[in-house]
Structure 1
Amino acid sequence: MRMRILLLGADSLMGQAVLRLAAAEEIAIDAVERPAQGWKAEQLKDWFTEYQPDAVVNLAFYHQHFQLGSNDGDNLALQRKFGKELIALSKQADSLLFLLSSARVFDGLKTTAYTEKDALAPGDALGQLHVDMEKQLKDHCARHVMLRLGWVLDGSPDGQLVGLLQQLRNGEPMLLAEEWRGNPTPVNDAARVVLAILKQLDCDAPLYGTYHYGSSEASSWISFVKSLAQELLATKQLDSVPTIRSVPFDQQLDSAWEPQNAVLSSRRLLMAFGIKPRAWRAQLPELLASVSHDSQAE
């Protein structure tokens, strides 16, 4: 790869997945892990000076956004400051900037999949942060990619997937929302898309802008959990069929605040980059096999 790429958040499970895929293709990426004192905007200038990146991929707050859904005010203020400084430095250095956003930028009221043309209407502080960073990026960095993701699944001990697996194995009745819909997306699949985009941009393809990705096909949360249970039963990781009952969306405790409809259309990504969505059901065995390793590494 001709571009010199700097990846922030190399210690995150998303960052680790991107680096593994890059290493398999002998693609060199400069990687920065979370400093002991946490991510600070003041550190960015030194990293730009040290690495002189042609492109920056920011996964620094991946875990807070896609596993915790954190709305802590102080932490969001830190992220906002970090993001603004990163955008300013990228503009100054004329570096390509690659950021992640989420389905939280939408209100979830639409009955079909969201496209990049749909109006933004965030329902919580994290969604508003994503909207604000998207606007900052578009206004100040001509060379940018904003990739919106929905339900990203990884082996984080405090993430939703591991919580679901614990509930299933404990044999407790589960109350889940039928109306809550999205694209279950294994972290390795999301990382595949990130690297594929970077490889094409390295060929000077001017395909900048905002894109959506979610593994196919869209699913309700309860249907996704039932598929998890079937896989666990088939591989003898579960002794008996769990009790799973449907409840209204507003009684779904695991959702925190997320849009009721988080389904994202990946068509623009397919048309621009030729990146085809992979079926999440076919990826379940690999995802579940990785959970134990990821839980220990996190």
Structure 2
Amino acid sequence: MKTTLRYIIIVVLCGFCLFTAQAQTRNRQYEEYIHKYKDIAVEEMKRYRIPASITLAQGLLESGAGKSALSRKSNNHFGIKCGGDWTGRTVRYDDDARNECFRAYKHPRDSYEDHSKFLKGRSRYAFLFKLKITDYKGWAHGLKKAGYATDPRYAYRLIDIIELYDLHKFDTRDGIKWMKEFPNPHQPYLANDLLYIVVRSGDTFKSLSKEFDISQRKLRKYNDLYKGYVLKPGDIIYLDKKHRRADKEHVVHVVRSGDSMYSIAQKYGIRLKNLYKMNKMKPEDAAPKVGDILRLR
């Protein structure tokens, strides 16, 4: 009897010690970071189809749970460098080389959105978006394969963080629920650093509003459309507010057959009123003719 009791006590104590050791491996700063940014990560997952677990793990790893100088002073949580297409604010830090150029943001949310656009807008990451939203291991190894980081253990470090902090629950709890409700989601695209989708048969402002969690009023406003407009297959619908001008790669547009000021504005992600203004035109003016050159910047 004493032997049995002693065995039970030993088992319980070992189990308690193991539980305590596991609990101690969790970092409170990491948990605070997850609590603070999980909702943003889930929002980005719904819009860009990037697992929230991957986004959070990368944010934790790259920013040191928001404690790195780059994240504290510049709100850059993903260590994204300037690159040739960046026109925003910049800062200089030593990384792989001395005095390298990094992107700077007004708010961490901007960093999260830019991270999504960074992955979505580069062809070398395109294969990742064919993976299931719950395949965080595939995403982790894919990011390393595509050259996101030079650390040879980058994928395993992401996976360790995801599994230690149960980050995959954000992919299943919110991702699967969303995927069941929208089994055939729209493919998002980027133009002028803005997210847009192409309207399919049967789409309405109501259905798009529900899928992307954006009000119908905002969808119409973002796309210069009036309240009674009925969506047509092939329409381009932006999910962000359009810019005042096109990106620096598109300076002018040569008018083609079938073009209108509206279709041109949608193609380049420009607010319609700004397209008119840049070209010293008014809505009541005659439509541009084939061969006319319109300014986009």
- The alignment's TM-score, normalised by the length of structure 2, stands at 0.29
Larger relative CO (CA 8 A, sep 6+): 1 or 2?
A: 1
Higher strand share: 1
